[in-house]
Structure 1
Amino acid sequence: MKIIVLSGYGLNCEKETAFAFMECSRKLGISNIEVKIVHVNEIINDPSELKSSSILAIPGGFSYGDDTGAGNAFALRIENNLLNEFQEFLSQDKLVIGICNGCQILVKLIPEFSNLALIRNDIGNYQCRWIRVKVDSQNNSVWLRNLDELYLPIAHGEGKFFMDQSTLGQLIENNSIALRYTDESGNYANLQFPYNPNGSTYDLAALSDKSGRVLALMPHPERGIFFTQQDDWPLKKEKCKRLRFAVPKYGDGMLIFENALKYFC
């Protein structure tokens, strides 16, 4: 199995994302995995790299400095140079994930998401914090299979999913709602800050396509693969020790990568 993690033009989370896949393969004891960080220009010059892979990951960052809107320029680079190859990849039994800036790129390339946008956070500034999200029970995402609630970090300035009610209704009807922000009690955030950190419509944190093979999410699972990456790990560790529970090694982000690898194994 080959996994391609895109890089270039300001994407800056490719190493963490590639590491997450590799650590996941070690955890699961899967040895026949190749994870490659590949500049988008390399794929434009040689699309066989994409064709021969099973998973495409578009990581976070600030492609083109977000100067023309987050993800816009990078999405156009793919659309203008790799559209046929990208569409062919989507038509096959393969997986795609777009994380943060990758999510902003993906929503401009997936036809089902063409009537929505990711815009500046309502609070008006960059948000870097840990949040809680819930997997929509009707969603069929391969990446989120058998998952319920997740604790993950976010880091973005333009993370608000924005759309009209008709578009939202269509996403709900298509079971494309993947993750929604919740409060500490597990109730939907109802647009309340900081539980919904950006004012996203319907508390949306992630979308998937009809096939369930494409996931576009604003949280960063690759930054939450280890328990000790969590902001509250010292407190939780102490609770585990006092209750004589085993201290976990991995965080919730690992579960998303596990689902992807298990899909092919």
Structure 2
Amino acid sequence: MDRTQIPDKPFNPKRPGTLVGILLTVSEYLGALYGSIAETRSAGSYGRCSECGGNVGSAEIDPGRMIAPELSLKNGAVLLWAGTDCAPVPRIRQLAAMLGIDYLKPLEEQDPGFIPILLYGYDKEPVSFVHNKKPRTDYYRGCVHDLQYMIDARTTSKGNLRMISYFSKRTDCPACQGTGMSNTVTDIRLAGHRLSEAEKLPIPEMRSFILGLSQLIDAKEYDIVSPIISQLEPMLIYLNKIGIRTLNPTTAQEVVQTVTS
């Protein structure tokens, strides 16, 4: 995304859309911010990494990226379905009730054994729930299964393809530090942060970082990136409000590897 693609319509926290969509958009806007400054300073256009071509995801699902334990189920802990009204949402809500999981409490404060269930499914008994006013009863298959189904079905939905991209294992490209951007961009430091480092900042620090740029870059550069900052800030406020810590939540590896029997 470059600055010409930044939409004029502001982010609406009352209708935020999917949580993964917000996380990806913030990441893309950060790339556009760094890229715009790099373009100004180098008097040329910025592009993708010459080594990986910008393809920083693999074909393999990364379960560790699929659950945000710091969030409650209500606020979108199961990232694959956060912000959607798909059937897995009421199914998960009822499954949580069956297993004594508080829908409003962060997962990290509850039984850690529930996270592998969310990832890999629950086959001990079916779940009864209502979706689109129709009662249903079936087994919860797990979000890893659901994502793999999208992949196997060769989905062409842009939303699904963004989901697949987000939940793919990252490749360690030394040239771009996993950003997919050219060295014209990755060499830029703002407030001491390269793009790859800025993307890893805790959400409150990321907001402080972008708001502080007005004091760190010249007026011409700030005039160019201010529309990007205006779009970023309300999204970061929203992410902080719901409790997500970073753009790339991770589940403890030992929890991910524990498959519910």
- Alignment TM-score, normalising by the size of structure 2: 0.26
More helix by share: 2
- Alignment TM-score, normalising by the size of structure 1: 0.26
Q: Which has the higher contact order (CA 8 A, sep 6+)?
A: 2
